[in-house]
Amino acid sequence: MNFDFTEEQQMIRDSIARFVQDDYDWDARKAIVESDKGMSDAAWQQFAELGWLSIPFAEEDGGFGGSIVDTSVIMEEIGKGLIVEPYLATVVLYGNLIAKAGNEAQRAALLPEVIDGSVLGTFAYVERQSRFEITDCKTTAQNNGGAYTLSGEKVVVSNGTNADKAVVLARTSGGQFDRDGLSLFVVDLSGAGVERFGYPMMDGQRCANLTFDNVAAELIGEEGNAMDVVDAVVREATIAVAAEAVGCMGTLNAKTLEYTKQREQFGVRISTFQALKHRMVDTMMAFEQAKSLLFKAMCEFKEDPEKADVTIHALKVLIDRNAKLVYGEAIQLHGGMGITDELDIGHYAKRLMMINSTFGDATYHRNHYASKTYSA
């Protein structure tokens, strides 16, 4: 099987790498994270001009017609550069939900503004009581003669502080825990009845709690049958964050190896110590294992997204375990500097910690992996 990237994918990867090298160094990133918005509008417009925002969408919707591999290439480079701009929230979640659930008119109205960078989006689905169970939903939507209004609260909404619009998961029928009866709605977050409380996460990403009080909303997709679309998008997004994690892990390994070649103790470079060589081999193997399983998940997803479920659960568990090893060793081998805000090592570790709890932690995915494996 050929695991080489296509010429177009190589170009995408190289263009993002150049952007990080030329315009998104560590000092630039720190300034962006410390700004009021916690992101750069100029960088986001550059993403649009370079075509990165169009890649996952179909050509008939104005996109590049890319696959999960193209998305993963982008997300891995985002991980390498610790880019905080909301590609996952706006493109992989918000845009992908519209592309999969929206009708032709909705796609024509909503996707171009994502692709040209004029609108930031998000997917609001987490509630205070739901933890990782997306179907645990108290937010409700009322149908008033074809016009819907939303009421409820969503928490830890990625990019919730800056998003212009959100796709919101709400219940139109059924009980709190039912899979059936859930629907997707597009909400203008600047509209009446929307309140948001924004805050930064430890990795520099911005989130918000959103409260809806009889907010006007537009239904996308079939009423009461949203979970098939949500499952499909979350599968893709889970692979995307796994690719970001692989990017973070690879960079941590490279930076740590370089540091051990420079740091001297007892008059010699610590990279010559046999015990440290073994530890660096362990972290390299952890990275390669995660990358291999990521490739397996991408291949299965391209063939049949639903059949990739088991591998995606396994991938999330492996990312959690191996990322902890990689960032733990990176911090320890850098010594006290590894946990300072001035050095980027600790920030890669924080991002990996957040990825490990995005779309379910290791325990959640291990349980689902076991239930699907042993019931098969």
- Could you list the beta-strand ranges (E) of the chain: 121-124, 140-144, 147-158, 165-171, 182-188, 194-200, 206-220, 264-265, 268-269
Contacts of the segment 39-44: beta carbons below 8 A, 24+ positions apart = 39/84, 39/85, 39/86, 39/162, 39/206, 40/85, 43/83, 43/85, 44/85, 44/117, 44/120
Q: For residue 74, tell me if it sits in a domain.
A: yes
Q: For residue 25, tell me if it sits in a domain.
A: yes
143 in the same domain as 67: no
- C-alpha 359/C-alpha 375 separation (Å) is 22
Domain at 348, CATH number: 1.20.140.10
294 in the same domain as 238: yes
Q: For residue 339, tell me if it sits in a domain.
A: yes
Tell me which residue of 313, 291, 297, 298 sits closest to 246, measured CA to CA: 291
Query: Which residues neighbour 29 within 8 Å (Cβ) at sequence distance 6 or greater?
Result: 81, 82, 83, 84, 204
pTM of the model: 0.95
Q: For residue 264, tell me if it sits in a domain.
A: yes
Tell me which residue of 319, 307, 238, 291 sits closest to 3, measured CA to CA: 291
Q: For residue 238, tell me if it sits in a domain.
A: yes
- C-alpha 123/C-alpha 94 separation (Å) is 5
Q: For residue 1, tell me if it sits in a domain.
A: no
236 in the same domain as 162: no
Q: For residue 343, tell me if it sits in a domain.
A: yes
3-class DSSP state for residue 89? Answer: helix
Q: Return per-residue pLDDT of the chain as tens, 376 residues.
A: 556 788 899 999 999 999 999 999 999 999 999 999 999 999 999 999 999 999 999 999 999 999 999 999 999 999 999 999 999 999 999 999 999 999 999 999 999 999 999 999 999 999 999 999 999 999 999 999 889 999 999 999 999 999 999 999 999 999 999 999 999 999 999 999 999 999 999 999 999 999 999 999 999 999 999 999 999 999 999 999 999 999 999 999 999 999 888 887 777 887 778 888 899 999 999 999 999 999 999 999 999 888 899 999 999 999 999 999 999 999 999 887 888 888 999 999 999 999 999 999 999 999 999 988 776 5
242 in the same domain as 323: yes
For the chain, how many structural domains are there in total? 3
How many Cβ atoms from other residues are within 10 Å of residue 149's Cβ?
18
361 in the same domain as 237: yes
Residues 230, 232, 236, 239, CA torsion sign: positive
Q: Which of 76, 96, 115 is the last residue of a domain?
A: 115
Q: For residue 17, tell me if it sits in a domain.
A: yes
148 in the same domain as 165: yes
250 in the same domain as 354: yes
365 in the same domain as 236: yes
125 in the same domain as 102: no
237 in the same domain as 369: yes
128 in the same domain as 111: no
Domain at 42, CATH number: 1.10.540.10
- C-alpha 338/C-alpha 264 separation (Å) is 16
336 in the same domain as 250: yes
Owning domain of residue 207: 121-225
Q: Which of 71, 89, 115 is the last residue of a domain?
A: 115
